[in-house]
């Protein structure tokens, strides 16, 4: 097995944020376009990545030095802005998940799971990562609940 070849192959599929070094999430061009609006000339190549680190100012980057800062996006996005909805299509925010945890019943999260399976769902289209928000919402709920139980 040629190790050099494998190394190159891995690098080609993984983008690290040029500012914070976080491993970026590969984002389909349609999702990047949906966040950037129609404004041309942003200088991001088709293979875009999302930096998932909340405190990093970079929202999107590519492997050729192109960078889009979160503050330059037309709408605030989660987690760069903790108050922005996690699910842009149904508007579920961290506040809602925290309220579910406080009340001891995931009423809002359950509603989102149901909504996300409906024909109104545009999660993959509207979310900054181009992936459905459901996974992130469930992960956050479980983490916040575990934190509450640990207190």
Q: Enumerate binding residues for Zn ion (CB under 5 A).
A: 17, 19-20, 22, 51, 53, 56, 58, 87, 89, 123, 133
CA pair distance 136, 44, nearest whole angstrom: 25
Q: What is the nearest approach in angstroms of Zn ion to the Cβ of residue 151?
A: 29
Angle subtended by helix axes 94-103 and 134-150, to nearest 10: 40
Six-digit token pair at 29?
């061009």
Give the pairing of strands 48-50 and 67-69: unpaired
* Closest CB to Zn ion among residues 93, 145: 93
CB 38 within 8 A of CB 26: no
Six-digit token pair at 40?
């041309």
* Closest CB to Zn ion among residues 49, 101: 49
CA pair distance 58, 113, nearest whole angstrom: 29
Q: What is the nearest approach in angstroms of Zn ion to the Cβ of residue 56?
A: 3
Q: What is the nearest approach in angstroms of Zn ion to the Cβ of residue 71?
A: 13
* Closest CB to Zn ion among residues 19, 33: 19
* Closest CB to Zn ion among residues 42, 53: 53
Q: What is the nearest approach in angstroms of Zn ion to the Cβ of residue 22?
A: 5
């Amino acid at each position: 097995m040629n190790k050099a070849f494998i190394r190159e192959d891995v690098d080609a599929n993984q983008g690290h944020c040029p500012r914070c070094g976080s491993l970026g999430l590969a984002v389909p061009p349609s999702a990047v376009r949906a966040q950037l609006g129609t404004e041309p000339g942003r200088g991001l190549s088709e293979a875009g990545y999302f930096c998932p680190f909340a405190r990093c100012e970079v929202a999107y980057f590519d492997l050729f030095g192109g960078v889009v800062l979160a503050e330059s996006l037309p709408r605030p996005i989660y987690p760069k802005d903790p108050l922005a909805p996690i699910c842009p299509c149904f508007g579920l925010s961290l506040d809602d998940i925290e309220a579910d945890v406080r009340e001891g019943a995931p009423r809002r999260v359950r509603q989102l799971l149901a909504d996300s399976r409906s024909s109104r769902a545009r999660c993959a289209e509207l979310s900054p990562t181009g992936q459905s928000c459901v996974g992130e919402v469930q992960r956050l709920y479980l983490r916040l609940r575990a934190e509450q139980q640990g207190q």
